[in-house]
Amino acid sequence: MKATHFVRIVTSTAAVVLLAACARPEPAPEPVRSVKLITVAPDALEANAEYAGEVRAQVESRLGFRVGGKLLERPAELGQRVKPGQLLARLDAQDLALSSQAAQAAVAAARTQRDLARADLERFKNLLAQGFVSGAEIDRRQAALDAAEASLKQAQAQSSVQGNQTAYARLVADAPGVVTAVQAEVGQVVSAGTPVVVLAKDGPRDVVFAVPEDRLALVRPGTPATVRPWAGAPGVTPIEGTVREVAASADPATRTFLVKLALPADAALPLGATAYVTLQTPASGVAAITLPTSAIQQSTEGDRKGSMVWVFDAGSGTVRTRAVQVAGADGNRVVIAAGLQPGDEVVAAGGHVLSDGQKVVRFAAN
């Protein structure tokens, strides 16, 4: 009996141990995460950004010849100031002169044919009066004279074209200005329209600068701005300007948009000078809730799809997700249009490892 009782006890104990081994272990409690919290408060937008630009002429022409040829002379030099009518470059006009002479000879030949047809018509009119020829013969002579007149006009027009082309061998300045670039050298064969000299014409000046894509919505034609010369002495009064033109597409290399700011007529800034531009956008000084970009999470789950943040509940020491509406960017921060109230505590860093209802502790920097 005792042996049998002992065997039962051992068997029961083994069964209990086996069942305990097969039972699912209790899940480990979620670790308490350390997160960086910030308190939400409205702040003035920093819309008055400063950009570095370059002073350029509003009208900058790339001048080239209307005809092709070999460049014999280029008196214009980089940085040279020129006057209207001043010679900038000259082509070899020998072939053009020969073409002009040929056109003039064609005019002389056409004039001779016209005079002959006219004299022939007069002679046949006299014969008609004497009854030696018919009226049809007069019509033929009149038609020949009309054709000769048309040929003469054609030759004269062609001669004028050739004469103009001879004059096109000289490239002259059409307005006062400064040579800002030279793009052809003596001895080079250039085709018609190839830029030889870039001329910045006297007159209004622009400050040209690039704006990143996240700031483009704040820049419109007519936006006021202040310009501060880079080489200006301390205390120099900034120059007031206005945005004149905004590029319709981004630069393929820098992915920025070119903006041209018109300067007043009396602005004495040299071409090519560096200037700092501060745009006075309508959003300047407007109070809004902004968060660092690290605080924004993107959810793809059902009706919670969109932008969200982790909001800290001080009473329970836990965090919960909350959907927010993003209005745009302000430098390295995101502007929140809806979803948060002043005083809310939001997780600024560490949100990628959190879950709803998880306990967190405030990160304390050493």
Locus of tokens 């704040």? 218
* Burial (Cβ within 10 Å: 0-12, 13-18, ≥19) of residue 339: middle
- Domain end position, chosen among 228, 256, 279: 279
- Asked whether residue 3 is assigned to any structural domain, the reply reads no
- Mention every residue, 6+ apart, whose C-beta is less than 8 A from residue 121: 138, 141, 142, 144, 145
Is there a single domain that holds both residue 118 and residue 132? yes
Structure tokens at 358: 């998880």
The answer to whether the predicted template modeling score (pTM) of the entire model surpasses 0.85 is: no
- Mention every residue, 6+ apart, whose C-beta is less than 8 A from residue 23: none
- Asked whether residue 14 is assigned to any structural domain, the reply reads no
Distances in Å between the Cα of 31 and the Cα atoms of 215, 362, 366 are 41, 14, 21
Distances in Å between the Cα of 72 and the Cα atoms of 63, 89, 188, 190 are 16, 8, 8, 11
Q: What is the pLDDT of residue 326?
A: 79
Is there a single domain that holds both residue 102 and residue 209? no
- Asked whether residue 266 is assigned to any structural domain, the reply reads yes
How far apart CA 341 and CA 350 sit, in angstroms, is: 21
Is there a single domain that holds both residue 162 and residue 175? no
- Asked whether residue 310 is assigned to any structural domain, the reply reads yes
- Asked whether residue 28 is assigned to any structural domain, the reply reads no
Q: How far, in whole angstroms, is CA 77 from its chain's centroid?
A: 29
Backbone angles phi, psi at 235, to 5 degrees: 90, 0
Q: What is the pLDDT of residue 75?
A: 94
- Domain end position, chosen among 146, 167, 188: 167
Q: What is the pLDDT of residue 61?
A: 92
- Asked whether residue 111 is assigned to any structural domain, the reply reads yes
- Asked whether residue 6 is assigned to any structural domain, the reply reads no
- CATH code of the domain covering residue 184: 2.40.50.100
Q: What is the mean pLDDT of each run of 10 residues along the chain (366 residues)?
A: 54 55 57 80 69 91 93 93 94 87 91 92 86 85 92 91 87 93 93 93 92 83 88 67 92 92 86 87 65 80 75 86 77 77 85 80 65
- Domain end position, chosen among 279, 296, 318: 279
- CATH code of the domain covering residue 112: 1.10.287
Is there a single domain that holds both residue 76 and residue 109? no
Q: What is the pLDDT of residue 28?
A: 57
Helices 135-167/94-130 angle, 10° precision = 170
Domain of residue 316: give its range.
33-45+286-362
Is there a single domain that holds both residue 68 and residue 192? yes
* Burial (Cβ within 10 Å: 0-12, 13-18, ≥19) of residue 329: middle
- Asked whether residue 334 is assigned to any structural domain, the reply reads yes
Is there a single domain that holds both residue 111 and residue 153? yes
- CATH code of the domain covering residue 349: 2.40.420.20
- CATH code of the domain covering residue 228: 2.40.30.170
DSSP β-bridge partners for residue 312? 319
Q: How many domains does the chain have?
A: 4
Is there a single domain that holds both residue 191 and residue 240? no
Is there a single domain that holds both residue 324 and residue 264? no
Amino acid code (one letter) for 194? T
Is there a single domain that holds both residue 84 and residue 37? no
CB 288, CB 336: distance < 8 Å = yes
Helix (H) or strand (E) holding 328: strand 325-330
Q: What is the pLDDT of residue 283?
A: 55
Is there a single domain that holds both residue 133 and residue 85? no
Give exposure, 1-15, as e/b (b: 16+ Cβ within 10 Å).
eeeeeeeeeeeeeee
Is there a single domain that holds both residue 129 and residue 185? no
Please tell me whether residue 35 adopts helix, strand or coil conformation.
strand
Is there a single domain that holds both residue 246 and residue 303? no
Distances in Å between the Cα of 134 and the Cα atoms of 121, 130, 316 are 13, 10, 124
